[in-house]
Chains A and B, each alone.
Chain A
């Protein structure tokens, strides 16, 4: 059996680490909160807006990613602004092991199959941004600001047909809230998830993580902001859940 993963997601804006709330930079964050030996994986996202991979400013992100990867002997998934296959190669050359597609896949899901044919489907993680409103769930685009015309369930089915390797699921309402993952959303989509799912946004205590990892279809839980508030936090989380959840100790 493969272990459930504890992931930390790092959001970089112009090379500076931030905690986010409802997808906007909130407080400065520091890598001191991340114990690179306890955490199972890192996700690094460039949230600087409207940057192309060919822009000079993008170099700032690559430099930061290189620095982080220098001392991380764990898998790194990187994304933010990936539009074409060359961008993927650039990320892999600069310290990433897997990559995230988001906007490019909303524009045309064919980029998933093209990328999978080149880099293998295991390398292609698709980020799905969602928002809830009066019990309805929407696929969000444009940095979580705009409701997409594409139906959320249809999109989740489509990206899997196109050979995505994993789904990274985010929730605008839950981001930075510390009120728990969006369990209603998970129940709504669970029967459509056939590939590994990483759930993000909302973890506020260890029980939230314990509960979400008890779902068979949730392969990994991402946490960030909560690690601000506790000592030796990743280790203490793992100690708390290790009896109920198969994890890497």
Chain B
């Protein structure tokens, strides 16, 4: 069973549809026992950083997630805002601290003359591919992005898997660091290549 975390933000049904299409069982939940018994966790996200963190706090999910991810080393995939929440902090609608699992900061994209939000289908650059997370993904694949904030400074060396995207400047599109997986575009909304990444995560 896969737990899709319900923190009252996010397109949870879209994520559930994608996982079921792949033939896996999942449930949308914020129940401690369900999360603890699950095989892996997905932290989805359509929302602002500030609201995301305060909802995780309100629903007492931070402790549960810390235990699963940091102590039990359970696999977790953060999608879009879910990925950003795993980082140190963000300055979307004021400065807020995140879960702090990933040593990155989330900042507004300097898109130069391009319009924000960065919304639509964009190509990715595959830079590191040491595990199966980005299996069968290549540079011509397009993913659906919808965001104005991103992770722009990252150290390549401790990541096993990395893809980036460019919109005025480069930023992280997906990473893997041990049991922590993060993806900025919406794989549940990126057709075959998106479903492939979700499948890779589950089977990794």
CB distance from A240 to the nearest CB of B (A): 18
Residues of chain B from 182 to 196 with CB closer than 8 A to chain A in the complex:
186, 188-192, 194-195
Q: Any chain B CB within 8 A of the CB of A171? A: no
Bound together, the chains give a CA A194 to CA B48 distance in angstroms of 21
Interface string of B37-64 (1 = CB under 8 A from A): 0000000001110110000000000000
Q: Given A93-B13, A219-B115, is A119 in contact with B189 using a C-beta cutoff of 8 Å?
A: no
Say yes or no: B119 contacts A219, CB within 8 Å.
Answer: yes
When distances are taken between beta carbons in the complex, the residues of chain B under 8 Å from A75 are 144, 146, 186, 189
With a cutoff of 8 Å between Cβ atoms, the chain B residues found around residue A73 in the complex are 17-18, 21, 188-192, 194-195
In the bound assembly, the distance between CA atoms of A165 and B148 in angstroms comes to: 9
Given A98-B146, A119-B48, do A3 and B120 touch, yes or no (CB 8 Å)?
yes
Least CB distance, B167 to chain A, in whole angstroms: 6
* 11 residue pairs bridging A and B, Cβ less than 8 Å apart: A2-B118, A2-B121, A74-B144, A92-B10, A119-B46, A120-B46, A122-B119, A123-B46, A195-B115, A195-B117, A196-B119
Number of A-B contacts (CB under 8 A): 119
Q: In chain B, what residue has the closest Cβ to A37? A: B191
Give the complex CA separation of A40 and B142 in angstroms: 11
Contacts A73-B194, A97-B46, A118-B47; is A219 near B120 (CB within 8 Å)?
A: yes
> Could you say which residues of chain A place their CB within 8 Å of the CB of B190?
73
Give the secondary structure class of B's interface: mixed
A41-70 contacts to B (CB < 8 Å): 66, 69-70
Cβ of B119: which chain A residues have Cβ within 8 Å of it?
2, 122, 165-166, 196, 219
Q: Which residues of B contact A3 (CB under 8 A)?
A: 120-122, 142
Q: Which of A95, A118, A120 contacts B14 (CB 8 A)?
A: A95
B-chain residues with CB within 8 Å of residue A95 when the two chains form the complex: 11, 13-14, 17
**Is A19 interfacial (CB 8 A cutoff)?**
no
Known contacts: A2-B118, A97-B46. The answer to whether A74 contacts B13 by CB under 8 A is: no
**Minimal Cβ-Cβ distance residue in A for B17:** A70
Number of A interface residues in the complex (CB < 8 A): 39
Give bound CA distance, A92 to B46, whole Å: 9
User: A242 within 8 Å of B by Cβ?
Assistant: no
- Within the complex, which residue of A74, A121, A165, A220 is in contact with B191, where a contact is CB–CB below 8 Å? A74
Residues of A within 8 A of B51 (CB): 117-119
The minimal Cβ–Cβ distance linking B76 to chain A, given in whole angstroms, is 21
The answer to whether B81 touches A120 (Cβ under 8 A) is: yes
| Chain B 119-156 interface residues, beta-carbon cutoff 8 Å to A | 119-122, 142, 144-148
**Residues of A contacting B93 in the complex (Cβ-Cβ under 8 angstroms):** 117
Contact B14 A69 (CB under 8 A): yes
Q: Is A96 an interface residue (CB 8 A)?
A: yes
Tell me if B69 is interfacial: C-beta within 8 Å of chain A. no
Do B11 and A119 touch across chains, with their CB atoms under 8 A apart? no
The reply to whether A97 and B17 form a contact with Cβ atoms under 8 Å apart is no
Interface residues of B, Cβ cutoff 8 Å to A? 8-14, 17-18, 21, 46-48, 50-51, 81, 92-93, 114-122, 142, 144-148, 167, 186, 188-192, 194-195
Contacts of A107 in B (CB 8 A): none
* A4 CB, min distance to chain B CBs, angstroms: 8
CA distance A98 to B119 in the complex (A): 11
In addition to A75-B186, A196-B119, 5 A-B residue pairs with Cβ atoms within 8 Å of each other are A3-B121, A73-B18, A73-B190, A121-B148, A123-B46
Query: Once the chains are docked, how many angstroms separate the CA of A97 from the CA of B117?
Result: 14
Closest to A36 in B: B191
B5 to chain A, nearest CB (A): 14
Bound CA–CA A1/B142 (angstroms): 11
**Is A26 engaged at the interface, CB distance under 8 Å to the other chain?**
no
Q: How far is the CB of B31 from chain A (nearest CB, A)?
A: 17
Q: Are A220 and B120 in contact (CB under 8 A)?
A: yes
Q: Which residues of B contact A76 (CB under 8 A)?
A: 14
Chain B residues lying within 8 Å of A232, measured Cβ to Cβ, are none
Q: Are A89 and B8 in contact (CB under 8 A)?
A: yes
Q: A3-B122, A118-B51, A121-B148 are in contact. Are A96 and B11 (CB under 8 A)?
A: yes
Task: Assess A116 versus B48: contact at CB under 8 Å? Given A121-B117, A196-B117.
Answer: yes
